[in-house]
Amino acid sequence: MRQGQLLATLTALLALTGCHRTQPPSSHVVAAEHDAFFVWAGVPARPELAQAKVLYLLDGEVRAGRNDRFVALRPATPHVPRADVWMTVRVERLDWSEDVHRRIMADLARWQAGGNRLAGLQIDFDASTRGLDQYAAFLTDLRRRLPARYRLSVTGLMDWSAQADATALAKLAGTVDEVVIQTYQGRRTIPGYERYLATLHRLPLAYRIAVVEGGEWLAPADLAPDLAADPHYRGLVVFLLRDPPRQ
């Protein structure tokens, strides 16, 4: 190899090495490093829960088959005086009967009487970005029914901040107190989640980012340095698995 060719090759290798070094290291979500958690039905007691400051506890579901039935999934009233607790209801349809509304309000009162630091009600519903207007109307009615002492939280899709109309987001912001953006499906982080972090500043309300235990994840500071400075950003929430991965 001639000297000029050797120099060019070395220069190219150094450039590749430099580019490689600028890439943030791969990482995964470790529950023990966090203090806010989703706890779904069937998740056993975990040491990490002792350090929790915020818990989203699944109470039950409104399933697609019936709008007049609330399916309870928690056998007993929780007692968590040391953390802020959100009573979460997983929803597959929005046309609730009055019986469902009454049952959910009764459960909120029961959880409050159980000695919990009850922050409020969270609705876990996969509202499409194009359907945010309809969802906002449902939430406006729900907010009207909800006692003023309770806050209202919703889960949201990553493309809300990137694709949703600003007017639809404003309607949402006028109704709910926070949105928890989900970055996973099942046990896996959604590929390409990084590009959505840069758009989260478009959300005109308080938000958290939900990550799945063991899923691939890079700290927001490594991907979107401005995120930490966003006054609406409230941190991460870890979705705990029934059978946690070995770290």
Conformation bin of residue 197: beta by default, left when phi > 0, alpha when psi is -120 to 50:
alpha
Please tell me whether the overall predicted TM-score, pTM, comes out greater than 0.85 for this model: yes
Residue 220 is predicted with a pLDDT of 65
Q: How many residues does the chain have?
A: 247
Q: What are the residue ranges spanned by the domains of the chain?
A: 26-239
Is 73's pLDDT higher than 90?
A: yes
Is 13's pLDDT higher than 50?
A: no
> What's 26-239's CATH class?
alpha beta
3-state secondary structure of 89: strand
Burial environment of residue 133 by CB neighbours within 10 A (0 to 12, 13 to 18, 19 or more): middle
Quick: pLDDT tens for 81-90: 999 999 999 9
3-state secondary structure of 20: helix
Contact indicator for 105, 143 with CB cutoff of 8 Å: no
Residue 194 is predicted with a pLDDT of 85
Quick: pLDDT tens for 199-215: 898 899 999 999 999 99
Q: How far apart are CA 5 and CA 162, in angstroms?
A: 46
Residue 86 is predicted with a pLDDT of 98
Is 240's pLDDT higher than 70?
A: yes
Mean per-residue pLDDT, 42-70: 96
Q: Kindly report which listed range (39-43, 50-54, 167-171, 219-223) carries the lowest average pLDDT score.
A: 219-223
Q: Kindly report which listed range (18-27, 121-130, 167-176) carries the lowest average pLDDT score.
A: 18-27
Task: Give the containing element (helix H, strand E) for 24.
Answer: none
Q: Which residues of 136-156 are buried (b: 16+ CB within 10 A; e: fewer)?
A: bebbeebbeebeeebbbbbbb
Quick one: which of 136, 137, 101, 97 has its CA closest to 121? 101
DSSP of 167-183, one letter per residue?
Answer: HHHHHHHTT-SEEEEE-
What are the distances in angstroms from CA 30 to CA 4, 70, 202, 214, 225?
Answer: 49, 33, 28, 6, 21
Contact indicator for 156, 180 with CB cutoff of 8 Å: yes
